[in-house]
Chains A and B, each alone.
Chain A
Amino acid sequence: MRRTWFSPAPRLRRTAATALAGALALTALAACGTSSDTGSGDSKPGTGSSDPAAPLDPKTTVDLTIDCMPPAAKAAELKEWKQDVATFNKTYPNVHIVGRSTPGQCEEPPRFTAALKAKSQPDVFYTYFTDLQQVLDNNGAADISAYVTAASVPALNSIDPAVMGVYKKDGKMYGLPTSNYQMGIMINRKLFQRAGLDPDKPPATWDEVRADSRAIAGLGGGVYGYGEYSAENTGGWHFTAAMYSLGGDVVGADGKAAFNNATGKQLLQQLHDMRWSDRSMSPTQLLKWGDLQKQITADKLGMFLAAPDDIAYMVQQLGAKYENFGMGPIPGAKATLTGGNGYMIKQGSSPDKIKAAIAWLNFKNLSPGKGQFDWARTKADHLPVGVPQPNFFTGDVKATDLKARTDNATMPVANFAPYLGNPVPGKAEPPKAQEVYKVLDNAMSGVLTNEDADIAKLLSTAQTGVDQVLANQ
């Protein structure tokens, strides 16, 4: 047979097939694998100074990947992000910002943990206040102490030192906070009014919570007064907040469980009574973060413990209206659980990259009147203004920011006056928080799903579990 280009010789055909097979195999491997950015420096090496005190050299090109860019579904926030990048680039044209967005929350613990382990987090990555130890365990964040000064972050001295301290360990700074919260009680004003309660006076004690819950549940039609979590560690998280509110603790100064006492019993007994005696809590239990927000948005729930940013979630994601909600300080008000989030910079980043990252965070998140604090722009974009957070500034800066927020409010700020006007001392989460919460979930689900729950036994079992978790650190 005549050989043409279209009918190669058997040997050639065999070689080509083998090469194709090999190429396919390698392509498959490459496609399946993840990019392993070591974060060792810039993609375009610069000539900047390694002196942390020296400003970023404008001749140095820096590529910066940043977490938590708003997804396309959040069109207004995304527009603001792009505006901010453009404004930032007027001062720093040498910094090329590549935003990374996620459809849901900026941090989902399983994804975050996996990214840390694979060292695939962006150069500037989003974290919760409780993440520091986990990040350090994975060698994930750069020490930025020498880079964060009054020159690089002008508002530095106006930020609450307690909040700044969240990202410090052994005298070193590993991140910058961008937002904080304190737990309070969220109420559905419409249901309060329907039940004959004053929506401007959220319950200030746990006895009042019980009474109001009973009144709201009396409306019937699947409406319940109070809601609580008991799954995916959120039950333990709320148990902790409620213990703090009563002056109790979850882990004592001696590093042992500190909730198996009269306060813990009082807390669980009240929940049990509200669920089974008053029937003012829903029979649908084992709820986790997000479930109660849906119920209150649908006007089926009167109250639950919450952080202020829940309101933004309920309005923006679930289509609720701001005026339907109000917030008061956590009932009991002895102390409340506090938390928040911020950004860290990937370990191994070059000095230029760290300087560029701090410059961006300063512009976007820590400058009154700019970025996230540009309340006039936020109002013009029909985004929420008036949610009582972030609130980490002190002194004159705080007063100025609060005034700008009130002047541009897109929601009835007065509904949150009880929360803002009655600050409760904040208290951080316990050590090994998630593992402790997992154990406490069982105590919460016990009283909320079992009418015959033995509260003393639930507390005692949880105490054993938490002590074992803490002993195994």
Chain B
Amino acid sequence: MSASTLPARETALPPQGAERPGQPGRSGLTRALRRNLTAHGFLIGAVLCFAFFSWYPMVREFVLAFQKTKDGRTTWAGWSNLSYVFHDPAFWQAWRNTLLFTGLALVLGFVLPFLVAVLLNELRHGQGYLRLLVYLPVMLPPVASVLLFKYLYDPGYGLFNRIFDLFGLPAQQWLQSTDTAMVSVVIAATWMNMGSATLVYLAALQAIPGELYEAAELDGAGLLRKIWHVTVPQTRLVLSLMFLMQIIATMQVFTEPFLLTNGAGPEGSTTTVVYLIYQYAFNFNNYGGAAALGLCLLVLLAGFSAMYVRLSRDSDT
């Protein structure tokens, strides 16, 4: 749209800082507010909701991390809550488990959806149907998915062991062995969540100009070389953002281990940091400990979030 086609109201605006006749003393801010009164009305609602349900709890969490409540009296506890969680034998185990989950989830949950998206993108027929199939697990309520996997994994009557039995393979303990519990949780979590990631990758793949592939083909590139030299560079930003988002999301994992292994798993091998926070707060009534542990997680995730924001900004420019 050229400048000449702008509506008259826009072009007739008084210059910055000038005052309207008959309204002496009104600041630019007031005028700006008046101009979009309705929008600001709605904005206030959103800001109040965020303030009440997101920002206030964050501040409260920070304060709680340094407080202790005993016999109805709340006192300043200094670093003792942090010291408490550091001395909890479950603390380091929970961090090890969380990092293991994140690592395994990245290997499976990051690579697999990308490969599926590449395959879907290459399909000539039935793409919509297969896309729906891939997305279906996301539409299932997480509890239903978890219960399904709990049945599949059961060492006594589970489907997986029945299949193993058909092929003469030994029965596995799946969720009930320290060796396989976390991997089993990751497999279930990946199945439950990969649909969303696949769709994002697919959208990014479909935005790649077809000429690039044609040029690569003219240069004699095969499928793998096309993926490596065209697909990956063209989706680099989306891949980076998804990678960071995956780290941030997986480090907060709670639902899957909580429902699949009742939180702890064999010998505590699936206890995650967020489950430990939940236990402190709601099973042990130790809100100070929960807040302190939450603070540790917050600090770590804030670093990844900053990287994410930086990358998002790059993608906007």
A interface residue numbers (CB < 8 A to B): 14-15, 17-22, 24-26, 28-29, 32-33, 109-110, 113-114, 116-117, 134, 136-140, 222, 231-233, 282-286, 288, 347, 432, 434-435, 438-439, 441-442, 445-446, 449-450, 458, 461, 464-465, 468-469, 471-472
Contact = CB atoms under 8 A, between A and B. Distances in A.
14 contacts: A22-B44, A28-B49, A32-B49, A32-B53, A137-B69, A232-B262, A283-B173, A285-B176, A285-B266, A286-B265, A435-B284, A438-B264, A468-B89, A471-B87
A29 B268 contact: no
B89 to A, nearest CB: 4
B93 to A, nearest CB: 9
A472 B87 contact: yes
A446 B264 CA distance: 12
A432 B289 CA distance: 14
B283 interface: yes
Contact of B72 (A138, A288, A442): A138
Given A29-B52, A138-B72, A18 B41 contact: yes
A286 B269 CA distance: 12
Contacts of B217: none
B88 A469 contact: yes
B69 A438 contact: no
B267 A446 contact: yes
> Nearest 5 A-B pairs (CB), nearest first?
A25-B45, A21-B41, A139-B72, A110-B282, A231-B262
B37 interface: yes
A445 B267 CA distance: 6
A328 B173 CA distance: 33
B137 interface: no
B38 A442 contact: no
B279 interface: yes
B interface, by DSSP: helix, strand, loop or mixed?
helix
B284 A286 contact: no
Given A435-B284, A461-B89, 4 more contacts: A17-B41, A24-B42, A446-B266, A471-B87
A391 to B, nearest CB: 29
Interface in B27-55: 37-38, 40-42, 44-46, 48-49, 52-53
Interface string B243-276: 0000000000000000001111111100000000
A21 B267 contact: no
Contacts of A464: 89
Q: Which of A32, A33, A450 has the most CB of B within 10 A?
A: A450
A449 B176 contact: yes
A117 B266 contact: no
Contacts of B156: 222, 282-284
Nearest to B261: A286
A470 to B, nearest CB: 11
Nearest to B80: A472
Nearest to A284: B156
Nearest to A170: B71
Interface residues of B, number: 47
Nearest to B158: A284
A33 B84 CA distance: 32
Contact of A438 (B37, B45, B48, B90): B90
B281 interface: yes
B293 interface: no
Contacts of A286: 175-176, 261-262, 265-266
A461 B90 CA distance: 11
Contacts of A439: 89-90
B264 A28 contact: no
Nearest to B176: A449
A450 B267 CA distance: 9
**Max chain B CB contacts within 10 Å: which of A116, A140, A232?**
A232
B264 A113 contact: no
A25 B49 CA distance: 8
Contacts of B284: 432, 434-435
Contacts of A117: 287
Contacts of B52: 29, 32-33
A204 B225 CA distance: 73
Nearest to B178: A450
Contacts of B154: 284
Interface string B154-191: 11110000000000000101011110000000000000
B217 to A, nearest CB: 53
B263 A29 contact: no
A439 B88 CA distance: 10
Contacts of B283: 109-110, 113, 233, 434, 438
A286 B265 CA distance: 7
Contacts of A114: 282
